[in-house]
Amino acid sequence: MISHLADTITLNNGVKMPGVGLGVYKVENGPTVEQAVKVALDYGYRSVDTASFYGNEEGIGKALAEVNIPRDQLFITSKVWNDEQGYDATQEAFHRSLQRLGLDYLDLYLIHWPVKGMYKDTWQALEALYEEGKVRAIGVSNFHIHHLQDLLKESQITPAVNQVEYHPHLTQEPLKAFCEKQGIQLEAWSPLKRGRLLEEPTIKDLANKYGKTPAQIILRWNVQHRVITIPKSIHPERIKENGNVFDFSLTEHDMQLLDRLNRDDRSGTNPDSFDTDHK
């Protein structure tokens, strides 16, 4: 169990990844994302999750260049977008992301969505980048069990991470169990269901019980399930609040209360029917 903002979970290749990071989906490039990253790093975050699709890699790179934190203490993730997939295109997209971020390597590179007929070639490109030492770990995002099974049939390397929508209304227990069996670390995007969970009565009750905010209850639930989480915010007080989830523990009974909120309800697109307008 991680017990501090900088604590890590060891991935299947031995790389250590912080259990909580900053997400920057829909955060505007420039001063907005630069400030968010600087606030997070100053508070103790060490993981930042972006993607070429987010359009803010340059701003993140600028922030990283201006903070006085050794590169080996940072964990930077990016993703290859749908229209960049395929073997050669993925390699080119990766190097564009590196250039925008101003980095020599990435800590984690993910396939953003399982584009039908493309993701196997894309995965081969990620494997090559990994073998070349350009990225410390490779993984996928928004992959269902059947996508993973299909990929694992022909892959040389098992994905280190599967980043998916995960929160108390979408617990994805079969997928979580499958990933655990395969040694694939689950990571949660939209852990607060884009803010829609903050008024959930059970969560509000638990927030009152523990003297925490609803967001902190949800993020603590992630931590105790050993699911890496990347809450997004641009507000300094929220960024700090989201990172302050290590001074209390939910009881097993309260964890089960949250588990039972599952509705299989997504705030984003189902990976079997996604389009390029969604995360």
- The C-alpha atoms of residue 81 and residue 39 are separated, in whole angstroms, by 27
Exactly one of 25, 43, 54, 105 is catalytic; name it: 54
CA end-to-end distance (rounded Å), the chain = 29
Query: Minimal CA–CA distance to 17: which of 137, 173, 110, 190?
Result: 137
- The C-alpha atoms of residue 92 and residue 95 are separated, in whole angstroms, by 5
Cβ count within 10 A of residue 61: 22
- Alpha helices per DSSP H over 67-172: 87-101, 119-131, 145-154
- The C-alpha atoms of residue 129 and residue 91 are separated, in whole angstroms, by 7
* Angle between helix 201-210 and 252-259 (nearest 10): 160
Question: Helix-strand-coil percent breakdown of the chain, rounded to 5?
Answer: 45, 15, 40
Torsions phi, psi for 106 (to 5 deg): -105, 155
Task: Determine whether 226 is exposed, middle or buried from the number of CB atoms within 10 Å of its CB (0-12, 13-18, 19+).
Answer: middle
Number of H helices, E strands in the chain: 10, 10
Distances (CA, A) of 146 to 45, 154, 229: 33, 13, 23
43 is catalytic: no
Q: What is the DSSP letter of 207?
A: H
Q: Which residues are the active-site residues?
A: 54
